[in-house]
Structure formats: C-alpha cells, structure tokens
C-alpha cells in the first residue's frame, strides 16, 4: 500500500510571505516583524533569505515563529534585501527541509511560495531527467530549479522567471531573492494573494496588507498573471503572458492595524464567510491520489461510519445523502460523543470510520476513533489542520484546504468539508460505475461552478440579509426546516444562529415537524425553510403550507424566480439558478451564516467569541 508515501507528500496553501528592499537599516527586522503579523496565515515553520554583500544567506526551521527567530538568531542576519515565509503545511509533517525558502541547484536562487503547483510531479520528473537533485517533498522546490534550467538558455533572470511561470499549473504567490541580481526582488501571483507597497524607505511585498502597514499605507494589489520586479525605488509590473508592462497607481489604505488583520472586516467571522469562494476554489485542488486512496478504502469497507462533532457532524450528515445519491453508498453518520455507545460493540476490522474534524483535536472525536482503532477498524480523516492528532492517527487523510479559521463559529470549513465529500462521492461513483460518463461530467461541472455560485449568493444577498436581520432581531425563537439533504443545511443554520445569537432555535427535517415541533408554532413564529430545486421541492411546499396555516412567518431560501415558494413566503432570500440539490448545502448555508452574523452584531454580541464556546473542544 502506498499510502504512507502519499501522506508525507507536502503541499502548502495558506502561508505568509514578506519581502523588502530597503535604502538603509536592517531589512531582517522588518521581515520578522511582518511575518509575525502574518502568523494567522501559517505557523508550523519559518524561513528567511537575505542578500548580504551580494551573497545569499538562508535560515529556516520548523517551530513557532518566535522560537525559530530566537534559536537561529535570525534577527542578526544582515542586508537590505530579503524575504521571509511562515508556512502552514496542508499535507505531511512540517519539518526543516520542507520549510521555505527553497533553493535551486546552484544555491543562488531562493524562492518562497504560497499555493499549490498542480503539475509539479511532471515538472519534477522532467528536471530529474536533467540531473536536478531535490531535497524536499514540496511542490515549491521545482520552481527555483526550473528557473535555473531556463537560465541555461542564456536568457536573463526576468525572462527565465516569466518562462517558468507560464508553465506552472495551480495557484501561487512567489517571491524570488537571488545573488544573481542582489538589488532586486521578483514576485508574482496567480490565485494566491500578494500585495506591493512603497514608502520613502523602500519597497515591500507581502501576502497581506497588515504586514507592511507599519511602513506604508500605499499599496498595489498584484493581480492574477502578473510579475513584479522590486528595487529600492519602487517596482515595475508586467503581464506573465506576454511580458508587457502594466501601469496601475497606488491605493491608500485607511484601515487601522487591527482592522487590517481582519482585512478591513469588523470580525473574523464575516471575513471567513466572505472568503468562501476562495477556500472552495482551493478545496477543488486536492490531489487526485488522495481522493483515490480514500475512495478505495470506502469502496472496500463492509460498512462506512461517518463521525464528527458540531458543524463537522452536519457535513457528515450532508455527506450521507451525497454518498447515497451519487455513489449508492450507505453511510452512517453519528455524532462522535455517541459513537462508542452506538457502534462501539459492532465496529470492527471491516469497518471504515471516516472522521471529520476541522481542528483535528476534538476530544469526543479522538475518543471515538481511538475506540475504532482498538477494534481494528480503518480510520480515515478529513481535517483542516496538518500535524493535528487526527492526521497522526488516521490511516490516510485529506486536508480540506480552507486555511485557518479564527472565528469560533465554523463557516468556511463547513462548506469545504461538504465539497471534499462531494469529490469523494463522485470518485466512488466513477469507480463503481454508478454514474454514466455524461452524469459524471455534469456533476463535475456543477462542482466547479460551486465557488462562483457562492460568490454570487454573497454578492446578491448582503443588503437583503441586513434588511432581514433588522426585521428578525427581536424574535425569540427560530424554527429551521428542510427536506432531504436540506435537513443538514437546516441543522447547520440553526447551530449558527443558536451559538452566536443565543436565541433558542430548533431544526428538523421538514416532514418530521408535524410529529411534534408544529405544536410550538403560532402567529408570527419565524420558520426558515431551505428550498433548493430538486426531488424534495414539492414536499417542502406542503410543509410550508402547514406552517403558514398556523400563522408562522415564512422565510424561504429558494432559487431566484421560484414562484411556487415565493408566493407562499413572507420573506425570501433568492439564490443563483441551477444549483443541484446534492450540492445545495454549500451555497444555501451561506445566507444563514450571514444572517446569524448580522443578528449577533445587531444584538451587540461578539460573533467571534460566543460565550461558553471554544474553537477546539479538547475536553471530555
Ligand atoms: C460550530 C463549531 C463547533 C465545531 C465542533 C467540532 O460552529 O465550530 O460545533 O464544529 O466543536 O470541531 P472540529 O471540527 O474541530 O472537530
């Protein structure tokens, strides 16, 4: 079985980068300070490369930022040109070798990277053929080697970098520092953030504005497909595609430093809700072999149990519908605190336990899988945190690529978990021949449209949700209802409202409401219905009518122009057209995340730190 080698494969997505060219002073102090402000982006290892007297110097190691800076005496490095990187690995154990910067074969070109190079295996094979030696397991290391290779064709550094960038598939923000051109920094981006800044003292580049805000508030956001050359007097930007120069003025940032850390958002929760189009795009870049490996295990198991807590459990619940509908696989979702009581005596060598935990450290979840492992079950993981206990104890795992989530309420990690499950279901359907090629193509196409759908849902509903929150801010009870997979969306929407607004709320599969919950419905009680188009659409209309007949205030989330739903509803949140029901939890949860956020803020509560809750529950 090749899974161990796959697990140690290393990639990086969420990382922090800071580079500077200064007129005078100690560039390294700005770099380490900048990295501290970017620590929220990554924190498993750090590295710095400086040009001192025309020579390249590099120090890097795994560990906490402050510790590595102190242990390696990084702040004693000299030079006016340099860059640093704080890394958050998304696969494999973080270690010194995998830490950035990475060097070319001659040791003259240092490069840091934030992103994922999807075609690195083929590029690496090509370079190995040409006698390049690699020391790390990263995708990044191929880039400096490619630059070295291109320079053999007697082109200058800039052209060599342009040629290399044109060959990369995937996402990147890169910064290059080299003794070949000791007064300059080259940097480029494609789908990973990079911002340039200038002051009277020098020029800067960083993953995010806060890193450079103490030195300048005049910035230029590099756009996809652009390369910039920085020197002490400023920068030049050019298009990677044809090398033509781009003129774009500086923008002035008016945020305070504290606001800048949240990229201008008032709270992390809002920032994290808003960045879902990006986290979902990253979640579609999982490497094929990880998906294949987990799918093979799922295919072989006699039974598949899905276990998790809180929001992660809701993603398991959604997954049970997706696996059933797409791959004809029966799975059993169970909250991890109930796992042992419910399945502890039956779980065994033929069981697959697919475990989901954003943090990878939730006590109940780890307890459940400890038990499963003792009974010789195969434990697989989906997590957002490399190096977490879940990654260490799982036979194989997938990192969902959401990036750090700081707000206590899970938002972007939920949508990415469902997206990972959808990819697994699609692969399993293919493996088992459960969908025709046309059906597979259609599902895949829809999957790839999901980030755009979320983007559209966010853009069109922002004002609408504020208006709705204003109307609902004094309500004392909410009832969330959905049929089929939307029952999972309803539960997750309820959890968001409950945990950050403290308003008592219930969520039920809509069909179940007449077996009890309907008794609490009276005039004006807010019933929130999740109504995507699909198999459950006609049933949900019946449920809405039941509640309407009892005086409920009907708030529906439905497709734009869905008049069957709209004419029954008091309030409507309209969603983009064409989202298949099996993928609907991803876009349909977004307005509910936003609604809970707006309600909490209107009530004067801090949505990032709800009372009595912790981001990671590591106690029994
Ligand atoms: C809800 C929330 C919690 C977590 C739960 C599991 O917004 O954040 O319910 O989902 O504590 O955490 P992980 O996924 O880290 O195991």
pLDDT, one tens digit per residue, over 300-358 is 999 999 999 999 999 999 999 999 999 999 999 999 999 999 999 999 999 999 999 99
Work out the average pLDDT over 373-387. Answer: 92
Work out the average pLDDT over 156-164. Answer: 97
Q: What pLDDT is attached to residue 13? A: 47
Q: What pLDDT is attached to residue 402? A: 87
Q: How far is CA 161 from CA 81, 241, 246, 353, in A?
A: 19, 12, 17, 45
617, 618, 619: which to mutate for ligand 1, most atoms within 8 A of CB?
617
309, 313, 397, 505: which to mutate for ligand 1, most atoms within 8 A of CB?
309
For residues 314 and 492, the answer to whether their CB atoms sit within 8 Å is yes
Q: Which helix (H) or strand (E) holds 48?
A: strand 45-52
Cα 333 to Cα 127: distance, rounded to the nearest angstrom = 45
pLDDT tens digits for 18-29? Answer: 999 999 999 999
Exposed (0-12), middle (13-18) or buried (19+): which is 234, by Cβ within 10 Å?
middle
Scored b (16 or more CB within 10 A) or e, 307-341 reads bbbbbbbbbbbbbbbbbebbbebebebbbbbebbe
What phi-psi label fits residue 92: left (phi over 0), alpha (psi between -120 and 50 degrees) or beta?
Answer: left
Hey, whose CA ends up nearest to atom 7 of ligand 1? 409
Is residue 373 pLDDT above 80, yes or no?
yes
The domain locations on the chain are: 16-247, 277-602
Distance from Cα 259 to the centre of ligand 1, integer Å: 26
Q: Which stretch of 1-15, 38-52, 104-118, 349-363 has the lowest confidence by average pLDDT?
A: 1-15
Q: Which atom in ligand 1 lies closest to the alpha carbon of residue 614?
A: 11
Put the strands of the sheet holding 378-383 in their side by side order: 331-335, 303-308, 351-357, 378-383, 396-399
Say yes or no: CB of residue 415 within 6 Å of ligand 1. Answer: no
Q: What pLDDT is attached to residue 1? A: 30
Q: How many CB atoms lie within 10 A of CB 449?
A: 17
Tokens of 318: 């959604």
- Strands 378-383, 351-357: pairing kind: parallel
- Hey, which of 209-223, 381-395, 562-576 has the most confident mean pLDDT? 562-576
pLDDT tens digits for 85-124? Answer: 998 775 546 789 999 999 999 999 999 998 889 899 999 9
Q: What pLDDT is attached to residue 173? A: 93
Binned at pLDDT 50, 70 and 90, residue 259 comes out as: low
Q: Give Cα 557 to chain centroid, integer Å.
A: 25
Binned at pLDDT 50, 70 and 90, residue 587 comes out as: very high
Say yes or no: CB of residue 307 within 6 Å of ligand 1. Answer: no
DSSP state for residue 406 in the 8-state scheme:
-
Residue 400's nearest CA partner among 355, 358, 365, 451 is 358
* Percent of the chain predicted with pLDDT > 90: 79
Work out the average pLDDT over 608-615. Answer: 80
Tokens of 43: 């924190």
Say yes or no: CB of residue 608 within 6 Å of ligand 1. Answer: no
Pick the residue with more confidence: 402 or 476?
A: 476
Q: How many CB atoms lie within 10 A of CB 440?
A: 16
- Hey, which of 353-367, 375-389, 585-599 has the most confident mean pLDDT? 585-599
Q: How far is CA 458 from CA 12, 223, 583, 601, in A?
A: 27, 22, 17, 18
Q: Directed axis angle between helix 310-327 and helix 486-501, to 10°?
A: 170
For residues 582 and 572, the answer to whether their CB atoms sit within 8 Å is no
Is residue 12 pLDDT above 50, yes or no?
no
Helix (H, G, I), strand (E, B) or coil at 387: coil
Work out the average pLDDT over 553-579. Answer: 97
Q: What pLDDT is attached to residue 535? A: 95
* Percent of the chain predicted with pLDDT > 70: 95
Residue 101's nearest CA partner among 176, 28, 26, 171 is 176
Q: What pLDDT is attached to residue 429? A: 98
Scored b (16 or more CB within 10 A) or e, 96-114 reads ebbbbbbbbbeebbbbbbb
For residues 323 and 577, the answer to whether their CB atoms sit within 8 Å is no
Largest Cα–Cα distance in the chain?
A: 81
Helix (H, G, I), strand (E, B) or coil at 199: coil
Work out the average pLDDT over 444-471. Answer: 96
Q: Directed axis angle between helix 412-432 and helix 276-283, to 10°?
A: 30
Task: Work out the end-to-end distance of the chain between its first and last CA atoms, rounded to an integer number of angstroms.
Answer: 35
DSSP state for residue 513 in the 8-state scheme:
G
Binned at pLDDT 50, 70 and 90, residue 5 comes out as: very low
Q: What superfamily in CATH does domain 16-247 come from?
A: Aminohydrolase, N-terminal nucleophile (Ntn) domain (3.60.20.10)
Q: Which stretch of 97-106, 206-215, 370-379 has the lowest confidence by average pLDDT?
A: 206-215
For residues 228 and 37, the answer to whether their CB atoms sit within 8 Å is no
Q: Directed axis angle between helix 310-327 and helix 412-432, to 10°?
A: 20
Residue 406's nearest CA partner among 359, 363, 364, 336 is 359
For residues 83 and 111, the answer to whether their CB atoms sit within 8 Å is no
Q: How far is CA 520 from CA 477, 479, 516, 526, 552, in A?
A: 10, 9, 8, 11, 10
Tokens of 533: 């188009």
Distance from Cα 618 to the centre of ligand 1, integer Å: 11
Give the residue numbers annotated as catalytic, written as ranges.
15, 615
Hey, whose CA ends up nearest to atom 11 of ligand 1? 310
For residues 422 and 409, the answer to whether their CB atoms sit within 8 Å is no
Q: Directed axis angle between helix 437-472 and helix 412-432, to 10°?
A: 160
Helix (H, G, I), strand (E, B) or coil at 449: helix
Is residue 142 pLDDT above 70, yes or no?
yes
Binned at pLDDT 50, 70 and 90, residue 609 comes out as: confident
Tokens of 447: 């999957």
Q: Which atom in ligand 1 lies closest to the alpha carbon of residue 311?
A: 10
Peptide bond connecting 349 to the previous residue in cis, omega within 30 degrees of 0: no
Hey, whose CA ends up nearest to atom 4 of ligand 1? 310
Residue 69's nearest CA partner among 41, 36, 26, 98 is 36
The CATH architecture of the domain made up of 277-602 is 3-Layer(aba) Sandwich (3.40)
Say yes or no: CB of residue 274 within 6 Å of ligand 1. Answer: no
Q: What pLDDT is attached to residue 618? A: 61
Q: What pLDDT is attached to residue 40? A: 67
For the entire predicted model, the pTM comes to 0.76
Binned at pLDDT 50, 70 and 90, residue 258 comes out as: low
Say yes or no: CB of residue 311 within 6 Å of ligand 1. Answer: yes
Average predicted confidence (pLDDT) for the chain: 92
Q: Which helix (H) or strand (E) holds 94?
A: none
pLDDT tens digits for 213-257? Answer: 899 999 998 988 999 999 999 999 999 999 999 998 888 877 677
DSSP H helices, 475-515, are: 486-501
Peptide bond connecting 81 to the previous residue in cis, omega within 30 degrees of 0: no
Which residue do the tokens 């987990």 mark? Answer: 294
């Amino acid at each position: 079985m090749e899974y161990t080698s796959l697990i140690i494969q290393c990639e990086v997505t969420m990382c922090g980068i800071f580079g500077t060219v200064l007129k005078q002073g100690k560039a390294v102090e700005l770099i380490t300070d900048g990295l501290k402000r970017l620590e929220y982006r990554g924190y498993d290892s750090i590295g710095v490369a400086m040009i001192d007297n025309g020579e390249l110097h590099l120090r890097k190691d795994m560990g906490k930022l402050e510790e590595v800076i102190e242990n390696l005496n990084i702040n004693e490095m000299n030079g006016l040109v340099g860059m640093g990187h704080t890394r958050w690995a998304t696969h494999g154990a973080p270690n010194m070798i995998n830490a950035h910067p990475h060097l070319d074969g001659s040791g003259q070109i240092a490069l840091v990277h934030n992103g994922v190079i999807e075609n690195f295996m083929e590029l690496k094979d090509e370079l190995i053929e040409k006698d390049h030696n690699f020391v790390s397991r990263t995708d990044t290391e191929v880039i400096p080697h490619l630059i070295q290779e291109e320079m053999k064709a007697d082109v200058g550094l800039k052209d060599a970098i342009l040629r290399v960038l044109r060959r990369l598939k995937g996402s990147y923000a890169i910064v290059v520092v080299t003794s070949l051109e000791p007064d300059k920094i080259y940097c480029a981006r494609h789908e990973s953030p990079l911002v340039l800044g200038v002051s009277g003292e020098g020029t800067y580049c960083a993953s995010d504005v806060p890193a450079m805000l103490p030195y300048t508030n005049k910035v230029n956001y590099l756009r996809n497909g652009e390369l910039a050359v920085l020197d002490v007097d400023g920068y030049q930007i050019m298009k990677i595609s044809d090398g033509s120069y781009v003129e774009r003025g500086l923008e002035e940032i008016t945020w305070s430093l504290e606001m800048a850390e949240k990229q201008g958002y008032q709270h992390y929760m809002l920032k994290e809700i808003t960045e879902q189009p990006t986290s979902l795009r990253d979640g579609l870049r999982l490497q094929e072999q990880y998906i294949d490996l987990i799918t093979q295990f799922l295919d072989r198991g006699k039974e598949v149990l899905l276990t998790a807590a809180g929001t992660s459990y809701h993603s398991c619940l959604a997954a049970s519908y997706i696996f059933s509908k797409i791959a004809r696989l029966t799975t059993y979702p169970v909250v991890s605190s109930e796992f042992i009581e419910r399945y502890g005596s039956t779980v065994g060598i033929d069981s697959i336990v697919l475990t989901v935990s954003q943090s990878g450290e939730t006590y109940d979840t780890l307890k459940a899988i400890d038990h499963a492992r003792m009974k010789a079950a195969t434990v697989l993981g989906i997590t957002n945190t490399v190096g977490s206990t879940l990654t260490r104890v799982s036979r194989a795992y997938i990192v969902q690529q959401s990036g750090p989530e700081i707000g206590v309420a899970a938002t972007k990690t939920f949508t990415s978990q469902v997206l990972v499950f959808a990819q697994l279901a699609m692969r399993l359907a293919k493996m088992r021949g459960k969908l025709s090629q046309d059906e597979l193509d259609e599902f895949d196409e829809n999957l790839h449209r999901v980030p755009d759908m979320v983007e559209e849902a966010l853009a069109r509903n922002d004002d609408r949700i504020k208006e709705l929150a204003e109307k609902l801010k004094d309500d004392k009870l909410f009832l969330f209802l959905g049929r089929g997979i939307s029952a999972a969306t309803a539960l997750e929407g309820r959890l968001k409202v409950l945990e950050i607004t403290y308003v008592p709320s219930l969520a039920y599969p809509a069909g179940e409401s007449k077996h009890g919950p309907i008794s609490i419905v009276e005039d004006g009680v807010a019933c929130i219905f999740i109504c995507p188009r699909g198999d459950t659409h006609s049933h949900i209309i019946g449920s809405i009518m039941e509640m309407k007949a009892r005086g409920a205030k009907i708030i529906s989330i439905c497709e734009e122009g869905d008049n069957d739903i709209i004419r029954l509803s008091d309030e409507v949140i309209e969603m983009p057209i064409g989202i298949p029901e099996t993928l609907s939890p991803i876009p349909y949860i977004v307005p509910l995340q936003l609604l809970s956020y707006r309600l909490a803020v209107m009530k004067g509560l801090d949505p990032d730190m709800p009372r009595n809750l912790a981001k990671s529950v590591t106690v029994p």
